[in-house]
Amino acid sequence: MYYNQNTFIYLNGSYVKAADANTDLYSQTLHYGYGVFEGIRSYKTIAGTTKIFKAEAHFERLQQSAQALNLPYPYTVEELIEAAYKVLALNDLQDAYIRPLVYAPANMSFAKNTTSHIVIEAWQMDPFLGDKMLRVVTSSFERPNPKAFHIHAKATGHYVNSILASQEAKQKGYDEALLLDMHGYVAEAPGANVFFEKNGTLFTPQLGNILPGITRATILELCNELNIPAKEIQFKIEDMYHADAAFFCGTAAEVIGIASLDDKPFTKPWAETISKLIQTTYKNLIAENKKTLLNEVLGTE
């Protein structure tokens, strides 16, 4: 599903067949969840070209994540963007998900490494939370304490928390979880940030106890351009129960509406919300559909 006999990956400076590549079973990353990665998307633009969305921001965050974890990182943003485009071309992909992973060599101790490895994989992927409005439940799991982890880093080990929360939500019959931070404030979904809308204003948790999402930042920029009031604040789950609308956002999830939270439906019709406008504007932005983008804002055809 992710690769076949003809799939190419980028591995430590070379383009090799995924089926022929291997990794060290003594890697510190495999044993201890000590590695960093990114989740990036490329899109076929309306002009027909392939565009990696926010490529610089993603590879800069990869570097910052590696630095936060003391992983050697001898790569430049430029060379990795070039490698990512080449992986897309070799695999004949346009609308794709791109996964760079920086991982440690064989090391069963907790000591720092003097080298690291990098792989870039790409595959076709539908929106990761689907395209239907979600039924969301508050998780019994909290997001990791920032005093225990560098929570702003996109580290492999943090995703044990995400997997536990997501599996619990699905086992209870919901589509996805919403996690609080260690102080009981709303934090984020297992693999996405969250916004809610009330009386024409958008609210999202402030940075500090969440992954600083690139989609979240893009949406805040869009709000600024469109004169939509948006606030980064601390809020409780109860504040969300009375919202007009809410959505998750992330590279893989894109912008996906939430139908209900803890079985309480959001009552404003999605089509009449600012959240829906953000969803459409984001779709146009990733496809570089500037004409439609403008029409949407101006309310013209």
Q: Does 214 bind ligand PMP (CB under 6 A)?
A: yes
Of 132, 147, 154, 231, the catalytic one is 154
**CA proximity to 87, closest of 162, 8, 155:** 8
Pick from 35, 191, 205, 257 the residue near ligand PMP by CB under 6 A. 191
Using CB under 6 A, which residues numbered 29 to 58 contact ligand PMP?
39
Q: Which is nearer to ligand PMP, 113 or 256 (CB)?
A: 256
Work out how close the CB of 20 gets to ligand PMP at its nearest, in angstroms, rounded to a whole number. Answer: 29
First to last CA, the chain: 40
154 is catalytic: yes
Residue 205 in the binding site for ligand PMP (CB under 6 A): no
Q: Which residue of 121, 181, 188, 244 would you call a contact of ligand PMP, by CB under 6 A?
A: 188
> Which span (84-92, 131-139, 167-175, 186-194) binds ligand PMP, by CB under 6 A?
186-194
| Interface of this chain with ligand PMP, residues 135 to 174, rule: CB under 6 A | 162
Q: Which of 28, 193, 204, 275 binds ligand PMP (CB under 6 A)?
A: 193
250 is an interface residue for ligand PMP by CB under 6 A:
yes
Q: Annotated catalytic sites, by residue?
A: 154
Q: Which residues bind ligand PMP (CB under 6 A)?
A: 39, 162, 188, 191-193, 211, 213-216, 250-251
